[in-house]
């Protein structure tokens, strides 16, 4: 098997409308979560899925602890974790106090071995990058209202199906309607249902 790629244009940082060159990017085949990894490792070893899940929790706790204490953490041959800081730029270090400096992000730098192990052959994707449909917002909301009138609730997956939006954009749009008080939710995790409220005026 090979990784699939397609081309995307480099964003125009100048905003002058000039067409930018194309560059190749991996087309994701999906996300492999820890449950799948635990299952496959358990099938090929003497570890149970519970053993692996417990080790993962312990690693998360220890790695995050040492990062918060200012250490770099090397996790096997995966690579190195470190933390970056954020603060306003200054010309003199006396211009800023420690209370104005905070943790920003966690950085990861892969080892040479892991980079080599993660490289493989690539082939041009037949389908290319998925994109959300360009159905107007008014039409999307009209479809949503009709669906809820008939079915009383909708899931993120169903909203994706009736609007053509990709998962992330569909979820953001539904949550935005929740924030506006147009929709409300029931359930948690992957079982969240979206219901119409009394204030179901789509704007």
Find where tokens 């420690």 sit: 98
Domain ranges of the chain: 3-123, 137-196
Helix (H) or strand (E) holding 67: helix 49-68
Question: Measured in Å, how far apart are the chain's first and last C-alpha atoms?
Answer: 47
37-83, pLDDT tens digit by residue? 999 999 999 999 999 999 999 999 999 999 999 999 999 999 999 99
Q: What is the mean pLDDT of residues 171-180?
A: 91
Return d(Cα 102, Cα 88) in angstroms, integer.
10
Asked if 197 and 181 touch (Cβ cutoff 8 Å), the reply is: yes
pLDDT given at position 129: 62
Residues sharing a CB contact under 8 Å with residue 203, sequence separation 6 or more, in sequence order: 180, 182
91-137, pLDDT tens digit by residue? 888 888 888 889 999 999 999 999 999 998 998 887 766 666 778 88
* pTM strictly above 0.75: no
Predicted confidence band at 26 (pLDDT cuts at 50, 70, 90)? confident
137-196 maps to which CATH number? 1.10.10.10
pLDDT given at position 194: 93
3-123 maps to which CATH number? 4.10.520.10
């Amino acid at each position: 098997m090979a990784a699939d790629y397609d081309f995307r244009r480099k964003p125009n940082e100048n905003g002058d409308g000039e067409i930018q060159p194309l560059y190749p990017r991996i087309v994701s085949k999906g996300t492999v979560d820890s449950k799948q990894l635990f299952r496959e490792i358990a099938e090929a070893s003497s570890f149970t899925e519970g053993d692996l899940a417990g080790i993962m929790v312990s690693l998360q706790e220890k790695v995050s602890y040492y990062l918060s204490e200012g250490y770099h953490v090397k996790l096997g041959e995966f690579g190195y974790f470190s933390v970056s800081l954020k603060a306003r730029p200054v010309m003199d270090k006396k211009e800023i106090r420690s209370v104005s400096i905070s943790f920003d992000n966690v950085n990861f730098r892969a080892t040479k071995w892991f980079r080599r192990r993660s490289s493989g052959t690539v082939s041009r994707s037949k389908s290319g990058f998925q994109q959300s449909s360009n159905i107007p917002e008014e039409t999307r909301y009209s479809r949503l209202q009709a669906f809820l009138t008939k079915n009383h609730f909708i899931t993120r997956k169903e909203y994706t199906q009736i609007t053509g939006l990709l998962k992330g954009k569909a979820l953001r749009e539904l949550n935005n309607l929740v924030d506006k008080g147009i929709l409300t939710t029931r359930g948690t995790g992957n079982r969240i249902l979206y219901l119409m409220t009394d204030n179901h005026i789509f704007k």
